[in-house]
Structure 1
């Protein structure tokens, strides 16, 4: 899916922050200043999207998960919808401290959620007192809110995709500690040096966020489709290998 500068312009991807709030390290991605606001160079944005997409498709094709992180109001629903559509984990509520650096503990919390579900299925839940059931339900709701979207993530992600690196600085730091590649929409008020794959873009407007994520998730979906095709081809090859000797034996028997 080719990235057109015109569509980025229409989505308002080029609007940066006030010039007095800028981070000088974003200078290479700034096109000009207009009415006290920095304007992002959309040709560079388009090129960076293509670069990030190629890397994300490769990660998805390798079978690793990409964790999407966005807790700001205008991004939450978009991220939840787009990430769910490609079956990728996401965090749209408060970032759970130690989500990556203390992943074992986070997995325990997810398992707790699964064990509560099992209790409800096998009837154990109904043997509890009314007060205990209420406490368990509250715990389940809290875990679902914070960790529900990562319940299928059994190991550390292959990459992070972040919207607003200033807001999600804890997530960025944890990923850096573990050398997990960071992809991000980076606005003019942030330091792009913290990110491995920078997409210079307006990270405040929902239209801009939606447009970038549409391209990004399409690339991830492409990587997943490639993985599926490779698996099917391998399975087909394996079944042909199994049937080939049978034909040979049959021919020998005829002789």
Structure 2
């Protein structure tokens, strides 16, 4: 039985390319013709590309490999996330962060940070923090979840990439090529097929066509897991293994104790912060009081000096005036004596 039929491709609009003025000459071998200024792709080659990609992904997953679904354009976001989650594979459907593959160690630390923040929120630590601190951590966690939520469980570099729209995701394709990671991708008439290991000629703009190919790739993953189970290969995790296991009573009790310890610790830290704040306020008040007292003493000293200076000047002025009066009387007496003579 064929992986997909020609009728399904036609109904999904897989054969529609871009306008003739927007094309990559390297795609010429996949173009069947042109109609009303739009290129039409050869669906026979599309079928061949789909079958080759299907077989490769099936065998790769059966050998314990994993594949990263990539599609950040609006038409592909839902298809990428839904199909990747269905088969328990990692995905990126928001923005591709540069270095996600070539700097995977740093990205792993960021996903670990995201998981730690989620754990702290579950334990109720955010509720015991100051509102501003809790708000900042919540925003950081939400940002990490938005961009890295799809790769939270990706512990190593993927063995292959499935990409929708290689022109938009050229950074992801470049990183994969640099690391030698095979790329399976839908290539439209404006794409470069030479940088893709398993090109699938087709329309990468229509929701129906992208959803169809994403479903086929996910089906290949599922069949690879079944094949691994048939072979007895335990290295290929099943979808059930990827799911979160149900917690037993002991696990629930342990988590409750951990949550209680976290609450007590958070309360102690809150009390310590409040004590430090009160101590800082007390010291600041003492410093202000000391400064005010020093300023008051300085002003009082200046007032005393001014009073003493005023009194001294008044005394000197009075003495000077008395001396002048005595001199005047003496002069008057001297003048009277001379007149009598």
Do they superpose with TM above 0.5?
yes
By relative contact order (CA 8 Å, sep 6+), the higher-ranking structure is 1
**CA deviation string 1:145-186 (max 9, x = no partner):** 000110010000000000000000010111111000011000
Structure 1 length normalisation: TM-score?
0.88
Cα deviation, residue 233, structure 1: 9.1
Q: Paired residue for 1:28?
A: 29
Kept in 1, the 8 Å contact 2:62–2:233? The answer is: no
**Structure 1 residue 184 and structure 2 residue 176: aligned?**
no
Deviation at 1:124, TM superposition (A): 3.7
Spell out the pairing of 1:143-162 with structure 2 (5 A cutoff). 143-162=144-163
Shift of 1:203: 0.2
The answer for the alignment partner of 2:285 in structure 1 is: none
In 1, Cα distance between the equivalents of 2:232 and 2:130? 49
Matches within 5 A, 1:87-236: 87-231=88-232
Structure 2 runs not aligned, ≥5 long: 236-341
Which residue of structure 1 aligns with residue 40 of structure 2? 39
Aligned residues of 2:63 and 2:233 also touching (Cα < 8 A): no
**Aligned-pair CA distance for 1:212:** 1.5
- CA displacement 1:78-121 (0-9 Å, x = unmatched): 11111110111110101011000000000000000111122234
Contact 1:65–1:153 (CA<8 Å) still a contact in 2? no
- Structure 1 unmatched runs, 5+: 235-255
Query: TM-score, normalised on structure 2?
Result: 0.66
Aligned counterparts of 2:233 and 2:51: Cα–Cα separation in 1? 27
Cα distance in 1 for partners of 2:59, 2:110 equals 30
The whole-number CA distance in structure 2 between the counterparts of 1:123 and 1:75 is 36
1:6 to partner: Cα distance: 1.5
**In 2, Cα distance between the equivalents of 1:120 and 1:231?**
39
Once residues 89 and 232 of structure 1 are traced to their aligned partners in structure 2, the CA distance between those partners, rounded to angstroms, is: 21
Show the counterpart of 1:251.
none
Aligned to 1:86: 87
- Secondary structure of the equivalent of 1:162? strand
Q: Hey, what does 1:63 align to over in structure 2?
A: 64
Could you tell me how far 1:125 is from its partner in structure 2? Answer: 3.4
Count of aligned pairs between the two proteins: 234
For the residues of structure 2 that align with 1:72 and 1:233, how far apart are their CA atoms?
A: 35
Instruction: Please give the alpha-carbon distance, in whole angstroms, between the structure 1 residues aligned to 2:180 and 2:28.
Output: 26
RMSD of aligned Cα (Å): 1.6
